């Protein structure tokens, strides 16, 4: 299943995720999730659209610099692994992987 994500920029107001003036989500504090962890989760959620765009930009940059993909033999093994992780994260964010 693939769907478009909520575009940014998102912002936080306490434990609430805001898109403009609209509340689009909220973290709740439970016995398993303290308020500090809930706030950390909200911050990460609000930043997700920007992180996805950064991953896509890096993927595009690697192609633009002449590499054919993460399997390109000219890449350092660590760079190749990072690129595979970038592509896997993009795929998951776009709903192509479980």
pLDDT tens track for 6-24? 777 888 888 888 888 888 8
Residue 3 has pLDDT above 70, yes or no: no
Place of tokens 């993460």: 70
CA distance 40 to 50: 16
pLDDT at 70: 96
Contacts of 42 (CB under 8 A, 6+ apart): 12, 15, 16, 17, 26, 27
Comparison of pLDDT for 59 and 25, the residue scoring more:
59
Distance linking the first and last C-alpha atoms of the chain: 9
pTM, 2 dp: 0.78
Place of tokens 């994500």: 5
Burial (CB < 10 A; 0-12, 13-18, 19+), residue 56, is middle
Contacts of 96 (CB under 8 A, 6+ apart): 2
Mean pLDDT of 69-93: 96
pLDDT tens track for 33-67? 778 888 888 888 889 999 999 999 999 999 999 99
pLDDT tens track for 67-78? 999 999 999 999
Residue 95 has pLDDT above 60, yes or no: yes
pLDDT at 76: 96
């Amino acid at each position: 299943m693939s769907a478009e994500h909520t575009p940014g920029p998102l912002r936080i107001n306490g434990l609430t995720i805001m898109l403009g003036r609209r509340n689009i989500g909220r973290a709740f504090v439970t016995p398993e999730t303290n308020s500090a962890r809930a706030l950390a989760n909200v911050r990460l959620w609000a930043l997700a659209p920007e992180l996805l765009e950064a991953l896509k930009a890096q993927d595009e940059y690697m192609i633009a610099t002449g590499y054919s993909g993460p399997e390109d033999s000219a890449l350092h093994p660590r760079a190749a692994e990072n690129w595979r992780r970038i592509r896997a994260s993009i795929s998951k964010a776009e709903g192509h992987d479980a």
